[in-house]
């Protein structure tokens, strides 16, 4: 069965404290990766996967990220006057092709809480979640498109191998069986285990395809680690009745939530052209 993923949620409420002082006035997601902001790369990835509706979960008083995808008549008029038709077309296409909803997360209570803010706009179909900190440079097919192509229903997580010394930084899965296949059935998972507790070296990273029913679970989810409502706890609570799978994606991930990871990504992307948003 083919599942078309039409809606995607981008949690962008973080304050980007690792990038201070620049993030006092510029959202971390608007930092450049090549000639485009980080958020545009992940929106383009979602479009390549067939997503049509884009939901930004942001924080109070944070400068608008969604406004980047809105028309700017003054700039467009200047480009037209200067005869810069290619740049003008790119700006107009971006505004036309990226309809968005911006929702304020009033309290920073974790990723699960952020996703729950989208409950009124998600509907009943499976939806995607992309964490913009995780930029994934694939050779051919973008990561979320790989996942959408392989999706068989239930909840699906992007996973990758990490060093044993780093498992404490991630949610780690316990696979049911074969881990050589890109598609993995997951038995269980544990959030930020010690190396001794970790059931594998397969870590959950910033791409998800989730059943809409997760909103019902998040509505009653208790606060977990760090006093936050954890998305992984909600996913785990669904596993007795909902299939859970992982996808070992093709590509290299860059953690752009850290200055070093962001710099590494810029080096890797120095000659990469952003895929056209308009297909």
30, pLDDT greater than 80? yes
- φ/ψ of residue 178, rounded to 5: -60, 130
User: pLDDT tens across 110-156, in order?
Assistant: 999 999 999 999 999 999 999 999 999 998 899 999 999 999 999 99
Confidence of residue 41 (pLDDT cuts 50, 70, 90): very high
Closest CA to 193 of 165, 171, 160: 171
Contacts of 118 (CB under 8 A, 6+ apart): 9, 55, 57, 101, 103, 127
Name the superfamily (CATH) of residues 7-268.
Spore Coat Polysaccharide Biosynthesis Protein SpsA; Chain A (3.90.550.10)
The CA distance from 145 to 148, in Å, is 5
The CA distance from 35 to 194, in Å, is 39
Q: Could you give the 3-state DSSP secondary structure of residue 246?
A: strand
The segment with the largest mean pLDDT, out of 73-82, 125-134, 169-178, 196-205, is 125-134
């Amino acid at each position: 069965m083919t599942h078309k993923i039409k809606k995607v949620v981008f949690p962008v409420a973080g304050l980007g404290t690792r990038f201070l002082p620049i993030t006092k006035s510029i959202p971390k997601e608007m930092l450049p990766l090549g000639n485009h902001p980080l958020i545009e790369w992940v929106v383009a990835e979602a479009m390549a996967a067939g997503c049509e509706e884009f939901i930004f979960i942001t924080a109070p008083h944070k400068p608008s990220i969604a406004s980047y995808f809105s028309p700017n008549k003054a700039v467009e008029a200047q480009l037209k006057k200067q005869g810069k038709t290619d740049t003008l077309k790119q700006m107009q296409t971006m505004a036309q092709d990226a309809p968005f909803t911006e929702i304020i997360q009033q309290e920073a209570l974790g990723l699960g809480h952020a996703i729950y803010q989208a409950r009124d706009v998600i509907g009943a179909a499976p939806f995607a979640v992309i964490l913009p900190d995780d930029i994934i440079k694939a050779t051919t097919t973008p990561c979320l498109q790989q996942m959408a192509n392989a999706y068989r229903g239930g909840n699906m997580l992007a996973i990758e191998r990490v060093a044993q010394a780093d498992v404490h930084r991630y949610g780690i899965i316990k696979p049911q069986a074969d881990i050589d296949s890109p598609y993995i059935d997951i038995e269980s998972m544990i959030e930020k285990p010690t190396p001794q507790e970790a059931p594998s070296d397969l870590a959950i990273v910033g791409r998800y395809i989730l059943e809409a029913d997760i909103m019902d679970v998040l509505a009653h989810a208790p606060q977990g680690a760090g006093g936050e409502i954890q998305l992984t706890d909600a996913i785990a609570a669904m596993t007795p009745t909902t299939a859970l799978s992982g996808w070992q994606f093709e590509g290299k991930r860059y953690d752009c939530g850290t200055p070093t990871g962001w710099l590494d990504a810029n080096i890797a992307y120095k000659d990469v052209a952003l895929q056209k948003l308009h297909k």
